[in-house]
Structure 1
Amino acid sequence: MGLRFGLELCALAALAYGGWHLPGPAFVRILAAVGFPLVAAVIWGRWVAPRASRPLPDPHRLIPEWTVFGSATVALIVTGHPWLAVTLAALAAVNRWALHALDTSTGGERL
């Protein structure tokens, strides 16, 4: 679960980084750098987090989960960091597989 939390933070950081590197005036870049991770955090907090307001059951939880990780991966690729993107995506996939193999939900409960 510690790796999972670290990956979530990396995804938020990647989205902020991607937003900051959008072309355009500074205020648009600031809005994107704050807005992209904020939207991801809302998605995560509503449907994926251990204490989500409306938690989705596995495997439906994969949709918002991979939306966040996929967006972060795309942000890293677009900003010229393909190895970081591959690393983030691979670690997120391995972590998700490990949780499934251990019969543990993304909230840490045994299934």
Structure 2
Amino acid sequence: MSFLLGLKTANLALRFILELCALAAAGYWGFKAVNTWFLKGILGIGTPLVIAVVWGLFGSPKAAILLSPGLHLILEVIVFGLPIIFLLLADKIGLAWMYGIAAVINKVLMHVWNQ
């Protein structure tokens, strides 16, 4: 396996990890955003669930409904941008920076390598 192929594979693995981190950030925010356990459950479970369903239907590589490239980019900005906002709202500034930088680098490499 060539070095470049290894980097491309690592970039795809990073993409999957970023997807999982997006769901974790949404859930964390949901449980921290409100005081009542009922609303914590709704936001903490419901928010990542909605993101997962929307991404699975429209954004994932095996999406059931294909979007135009422009709409797909908008969906990516939303799905991978919301965790930054969620982490900032949860006062996790360092994590928000790390996630945001990793997401931008990942997207740039995905574009350059046509992944």
> TM class, shorter-chain normalised?
0.7 to 0.9
Residue matched to 2:48: 37
The Cα RMSD (Å) is: 1.1
Aligned match for 2:24, one of 8, 13, 22:
13
Residue matched to 2:103: 92
- Residue 60 of structure 1: CA displacement? 2.6
Residue matched to 2:88: 77
Q: What is the CA deviation profile of residues 38-78 of structure 1, one whole-angstrom value per residue up to 9, with x for unaligned ones?
A: 11011101111011011224343111111112111111001
Mapped to 2, the partners of 1:57 and 1:96 lie a distance apart of: 17
Mapped to 2, the partners of 1:25 and 1:94 lie a distance apart of: 38
Q: What amino acid is the match of 1:73?
A: I
Residue matched to 1:24: 35
TM-score, structure 1 length as denominator? 0.88
**Unaligned segments of structure 2, at least 5 residues:** 1-11
Stretches of 4+ aligned residues off by more than 6 angstroms = none
Mapped to 2, the partners of 1:12 and 1:74 lie a distance apart of: 13
1:91-110 maps to which residues of 2 (within 5 A)? 91-104=102-115
Larger Rg: 2
Aligned match for 1:53, one of 53, 64, 71:
64
TM-score, structure 2 length as denominator? 0.85
Q: What amino acid is the match of 1:84?
A: L
Percent identity reads 36
Contact 1:49 1:55 in 2 (8 A): no
The SS at the match of 1:51 is coil
Mapped to 2, the partners of 1:71 and 1:52 lie a distance apart of: 20
